[in-house]
Amino acid sequence: MQTVDTVIHARWIIPVEPASVTYDHHALVINNGRIIDLLPSSEATAHYQAKHTEHLPDHALLPGLVNCHTHAAMSLLRGIADDLPLMDWLQNHIWPLEQKWVSEAFVKDGTDLAIAEMLRGGTTCFNDMYFFPDITAQQAVQHGIRACVGFVVIDFPSVWAESGDAYINKGLALHDELRQQPLVRTSFAPHAPYTVSDEPLQKIRTYADELDIPINMHVHETAFEVDSAQQQSGKRPLQRLHELGLLSPAFIAVHMTQLTADEIALVAEQGAHIVHCPESNLKLASGFCPVAQCLAAGINVALGTDGAASNNDLDMLGEMRTAALLAKAVASDASAVPAMTALRMATLNGAKALGLADEIGSLTIGKAADVIAIDLSELETQPLFDPISQIVYAANRQQVTDVWVAGKRLLNKRQLTTLDSDELKAKLAVWQQRLSAKP
């Protein structure tokens, strides 16, 4: 009998790979932070002696959710300027507050809040874009969550850097610092076509190729963005990015609510990824990403929440449900984006976009043990005929009871193990006072 770190027995295991498969009364075997077996519970008991054994008779085990687009620290701005269109929201509310308040302390406390919320909702990996990415990385390491930390690049100065070159150089230095961190990866994160000029984008493309890291960017988020670009340059933003050589399997285009058939074909041909943020797009009235068309074209479409300032939560279970429902309405097809597709978008597709599909995104032998448990015994998820459908269309994040990242338990029966909720709430009360103070 082999001795291992952990065996988790569950009523259902939904591995995502292979698709649409659910294993009944199976166990997941974890050793040294990795999945080493997935087999019937009776066989697991006969073959493995575990240092820690968990019995979850009412739960489904899934791969941890991958939130493929966040601005984690902006959680401190949740609800501060609601019910406004994107450019009004940004220019007249969010950017002035950021100019006044963003600092290392702001990013530290805001990131802690985001990590706490994400872990309690089953997210085990997030792809971030914000100032002070070194602080975001530091907090991710401290609390044990997996992260891809983006190096923001914009043309104008901020508290983080004073020029395009300075943003890039700081990002390159941080990339070198994080090389040995097993849970934190890096990417370039030029903000958007309307805030980043050609020269820094060309440099980013060169460095990203050399370092083999992704580039993620807000693209075609609103009709206003696309129309403005056409008026100024005669080109749609996606065309400009393609001419600059950015579209590739390393490129992650976030939002993409304004797409023509030719642009969908171009993205598919270049192998770029799309991150769909349905709730943020709905709240800001930015438009609808044609998800069903993109998937049909062979594009890898992942899911993100965007920041809590524009969502207003980091709830990937909710995002899955909204993505599935919205896609049906946009496509006028009730079979568009079925439950399994939505789950894959929130797990394996996100891992693929980040270049992590060999490491996370499915409960596959050899991959990291990023695992979540959802209690399906609640009245709200009864009666239960199909666990996958029930998770996407009926379950809520309060039913996520346990979370492991690389085999380490970060949520234990709804209690965070690496964050002090009371201490965090005290810090948030201080930020609420600061941010709501009149100038």
**Amino acid letter at 241?**
L
Closest CA to 369 of 14, 6, 8, 34: 34
Reading phi first (left if > 0) and then psi (alpha if -120 to 50, else beta), residue 298 is in left
Dist. CA 396–CA 363, nearest whole Å: 21
Sign of the dihedral through C-alpha 210, 214, 218, 221: positive
Rounded Cα distance, 272 and 331, in Å? 22
How far apart CA 117 and CA 160 sit, in angstroms, is 25
Q: How confident is the model at residue 439 (pLDDT cuts 50, 70, 90)?
A: low
Q: Over the stretch 65-95, which tens digit does the pLDDT of each residue have?
A: 999 999 999 999 999 989 988 889 889 989 8
Local confidence band at 438 (pLDDT 50, 70, 90 cut-offs):
low
What's the DSSP call for residue 94? Answer: I
**How does pLDDT run across 208-243, given as a tens digit for each residue?**
999 999 999 999 999 999 999 999 999 999 999 999
Residues 6 or more apart from 386 whose CB is under 8 A from it?
Answer: 339
pTM score above 0.85: yes
Of 246, 241, 280, residue with least CA distance to 71:
280
Q: Which DSSP symbol is given to 73?
A: G
Mind listing the domains of the chain with CATH numbers?
A: 2-62+371-406 (2.30.40.10), 65-353 (3.20.20.140)
For residue 4, how many C-alpha atoms fall within 13 Å in the half-sphere facing its CB?
24
- Residue 337, sorted as left (phi over 0), alpha (psi -120 to 50) or beta, turns out to be left
- Name the pLDDT band for 1 (thresholds 50, 70, 90): confident
